Chains A and B, each alone.
Chain A
């Protein structure tokens, strides 16, 4: 990207990236795959996000934080944040960097294909319950070290 529009779009993207998931401080919502589109038109910016699940209770908080963060970018006068009807979020959208942080900071595995590996020892986990503490997480136990592991699921 080049020119003023490209530069502004990069700055907006960085501002969105500065917003962390409320449940996982330190993990950017971009790394979790929530950002779908940025449209810059003059000084007006539209940010299109997708939720992990319809029932995510953090949607308003995330949208407010994106609005504030992008609104503070030089050259942005107006920000519209929209939760898009599609595409459907899936764990494939989670970046490798986010997978690493989730494992290191929260003992959370990303459930790309069963069974997820234990974030502590790398051992195999077995599912204790598909129905974890929030809609996007299931509960597993490591068959090697015994750690109880939450998995971010699609």
Chain B
């Protein structure tokens, strides 16, 4: 089933773009992650996120690969609806891991709202994705545990957490079309409604947080791209820009 309601499309596009950008960022660690297994594992997890993005894009434009690529790669930068967390450059691997943890904790919650979705196929996709997120979160936790056992790494982890936490709050900004999507039974909970459960997970992992002192980024309902988006945009379109007729 291809979705025709513009509000529902806009709502699902936000999640699809998050998954796409997150997958893109994870796969960039192939060849440069600190050790071989991690190199492969992070890129494999990124592939899952790209698979999730493709499944969501397919709901919007149908199963045709070309149509999915058009939507994923050949839009104007202004038409993306990603949150800033998935756009930012993470300077080092510790930052990338903390972002991976913060994002996937939210992502697991986001798939849950589709368990009884009125959109054909979305509940099935969500069930598969949620099972995969258990593995992704195990990966993030295992590596954070390893880093916490070394004082210098633990300190860098803490710095990365403080830096990324405000940006992560942008995930939960209400998005256009959400009211329509909720009324139509596409999802069972608003994105903002997931924030308390996510905050509990964050506190259980990283310790107490003074949430009132943290300001989310200005995303203008996800219509504003962050400064780092241009780099992401150029990189994910690199093959397409070299040869727009390329098939892969």
Contacts and interface: CB of A to CB of B under 8 A. Distances in A.
Given A85-B55, A130-B139, A54 B40 contact: no
B166 interface: no
A135 B131 contact: no
Contact of A88 (B38, B50, B51, B128): B128
Nearest to B125: A85
B6 interface: no
Contacts of A87: 124
Interface stretch (B41-49, B74-82, B88-96): B41-49
Contacts of B54: 54
Name which of B65, B124, B138 has the most chain A CB atoms within 10 A of its CB: B124
Given A55-B44, A55-B46, A85-B55, A131 B139 contact: yes
The B interface is mostly helix, strand or loop, or mixed, namely helix
Given A54-B48, A85-B121, A134-B44, A139 B37 contact: yes
Interface residues of B, number: 32
B47 A56 contact: yes
B124 A85 contact: yes
B84 interface: no
Max count, chain A CB within 10 A of own CB: residue among B44, B49, B138: B44
B142 interface: yes
Given A86-B124, A86-B127, A88-B131, A57 B47 contact: yes
A56 B48 CA distance: 7
Interface string A50-90: 01011111011000000000000000000000101111110
A133 interface: yes
A54 B131 CA distance: 10
Interface in A101-151: 129-135, 139
B127 A55 contact: no
B122 interface: yes
A24 to B, nearest CB: 17
B48 A53 contact: yes
Given A54-B132, A82-B63, A135 B45 contact: yes
Given A131-B139, A135-B45, A56 B63 contact: no
A54 B45 CA distance: 10
A86 B131 CA distance: 12
A85 B38 contact: no
A44 to B, nearest CB: 17
Interface in B171-217: none
A57 B46 CA distance: 11
Contacts of B63: 82
B147 interface: no
B142 A86 contact: no
Nearest to A84: B124
A135 to B, nearest CB: 4
Nearest to B26: A55
B37 A53 contact: no
Contacts of A132: 37, 40-41
B129 interface: yes
Interface centre among B48, B51, B131 (most CB of A within 10 A): B51
A131 B124 contact: no
Report, nearest first, the 3 A-B pairs whose CB atoms are least far apart: A54-B51, A55-B47, A85-B124
